[in-house]
């Protein structure tokens, strides 16, 4: 662990331990968000941790980015942490200026908007994360010469509020002839695919943190809950569920660490799709086992388990999921001269 990474993670966890409670996480179900936590993170420079020093940030790399997002997933933070950090990272990657204003993004395989000759964007975006709070949107726009990464102000946008299963804002946004703040050079297919890969990787990091929290919370619950005069972690059936939780958590942690290492070293091939596919399997197993151990209390509003499992189910359905990644891997395998084993194990 690098010195900056250790400092960032420890500082963020201290803030979350102090300020994130069940009542704080409940805010999203009430149509609110933890703006006080956001302000504290901003004052401590954590939101700019992965922005270059030249642009006023701490100069953190992808490893730092994933570590912060894991922490966000672990505490179910009711703020647009991933959206803000990822949006600014993508802006800098394509030589656009990052911002300290609230910002979110929308990426898809095909652009949802068009860019006119005079630099105005029009289009509609379903399910934009935290759209109602954002000042700017980062997205791909189709222009006459090709596709562009654009940063668009949202003050004149039409916003219809919505939410995912976890209660987090997922809003419909419509833009009509909105002048762009900045645009990149023309983006080709490979660059768009790289952006979607990075977005998938960041969501995997968030999910990994959420899975770890479910495992830790379940262990704690089994050591507090008694049945028939014994703590329930002593029962063989409960131990079986705990073993499943432990195994899935370690597998996902290892997969995400391997994915992160491949990205940092710029040698990634299929690590991100394989990690996403495996994570979706883990979500099913972990959710089922955790709720089996907790019983009925795990789905009650008063308990915190559902905050995490609802997020898992929501994130599983967002972005490019296992079906599309499986199809891509299948096409790549059919076009490869390698055997199945070589395809999966060769760097």
For residue 344, pLDDT beyond 80: no
| Per-residue model confidence (pLDDT) at position 339 | 84
Average pLDDT over residues 243-255: 97
pLDDT higher than threshold 50 for residue 1: no
pLDDT for residue 35: 95
Question: Looking at residue 172, what DSSP letter applies?
Answer: E
pLDDT in tens, 22-33: 999 999 999 999
175 vs 265 pLDDT, higher one: 175
Q: Residue 182 belongs to what H/E stretch?
A: strand 182-187
Q: What is the pLDDT of residue 39?
A: 96
Q: How many CB atoms lie within 10 A of CB 67?
A: 24
How far is it, in rounded angstroms, from Cα 82 to Cα 172?
19
The model's pLDDT over 298-308, given as tens digits with 9 standing for 90+, comes to 888 889 999 99
Read off the pLDDT of residues 74-100 as tens digits, 9 standing for 90 and up.
999 999 999 999 999 999 999 999 999
pTM over 0.85: yes
Overall average pLDDT of the 225-230 stretch: 87
pLDDT of residue 4: 79
Contact 135, 87 (CB under 8 A): no
State mean pLDDT over 34-59.
92
Average pLDDT, the chain: 93
H or E element in which residue 120 lies: strand 120-129
The percentage of the chain sitting over the pLDDT mark of 90, rounded to a whole number, equals 78
Q: Which domains does the chain have, with CATH numbers?
A: 1-79 (1.10.540.10), 99-187 (2.40.110.10), 190-345 (1.20.140.10)
Query: In sequence order, what DSSP letters do the residues of 262-325 get, joined into one string?
Result: HHHTT--SSHHHHHHHHHHHHHHHHHHHHHHHHGGGGGSTTSSHHHHHHHHHHHHTSSS-HHHH
């Amino acid at each position: 662990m690098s010195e900056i990474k250790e400092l960032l993670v420890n500082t963020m966890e201290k803030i979350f331990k102090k300020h994130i409670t069940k009542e704080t996480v409940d805010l999203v179900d009430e149509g609110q968000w933890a703006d006080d936590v956001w302000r504290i993170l901003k004052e401590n420079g954590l939101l700019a941790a992965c922005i270059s020093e030249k642009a006023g940030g701490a100069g953190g790399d992808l490893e730092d980015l994933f570590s912060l997002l894991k922490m966000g997933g672990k505490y179910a933070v009711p703020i647009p942490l991933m959206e803000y950090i990822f949006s600014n990272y993508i802006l800098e990657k394509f030589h656009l200026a990052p911002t300290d204003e609230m910002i979110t993004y929308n990426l898809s395989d095909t652009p949802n908007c068009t860019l006119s000759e005079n630099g105005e964007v029009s289009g509609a975006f379903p399910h934009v994360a935290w759209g109602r709070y954002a000042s700017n949107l980062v997205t791909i726009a189709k222009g006459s010469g090709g596709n562009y990464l654009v940063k668009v102000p949202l003050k004149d946008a039409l916003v219809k509020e919505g939410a995912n299963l976890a209660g987090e804002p997922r809003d419909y946004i419509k833009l009509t002839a909105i002048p762009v703040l900045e645009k990149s050079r023309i983006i080709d297919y490979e660059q768009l695919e790289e952006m979607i890969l990075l977005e998938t990787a960041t969501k995997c990091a968030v999910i990994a943190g959420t899975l770890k929290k479910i495992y830790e919370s379940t262990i704690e619950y089994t050591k507090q809950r008694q049945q028939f005069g014994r703590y329930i972690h002593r029962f063989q059936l409960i131990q079986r569920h705990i073993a499943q939780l432990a195994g899935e958590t370690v597998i996902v942690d290892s997969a995400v660490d391997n994915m992160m290492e491949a990205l940092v070293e710029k040698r990634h091939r299929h690590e991100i799709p394989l990690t996403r596919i495996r994570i979706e399997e883990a979500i099913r197993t972990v959710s089922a086992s955790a709720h089996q151990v907790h019983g009925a209390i795990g789905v009650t509003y008063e308990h915190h388990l559902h905050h995490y499992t609802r997020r898992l189910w929501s994130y599983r359905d967002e972005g490019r999921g296992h079906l599309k990644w499986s199809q891509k891997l299948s096409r790549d395998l059919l076009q490869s001269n390698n055997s199945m084993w070589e395809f999966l194990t060769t760097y």
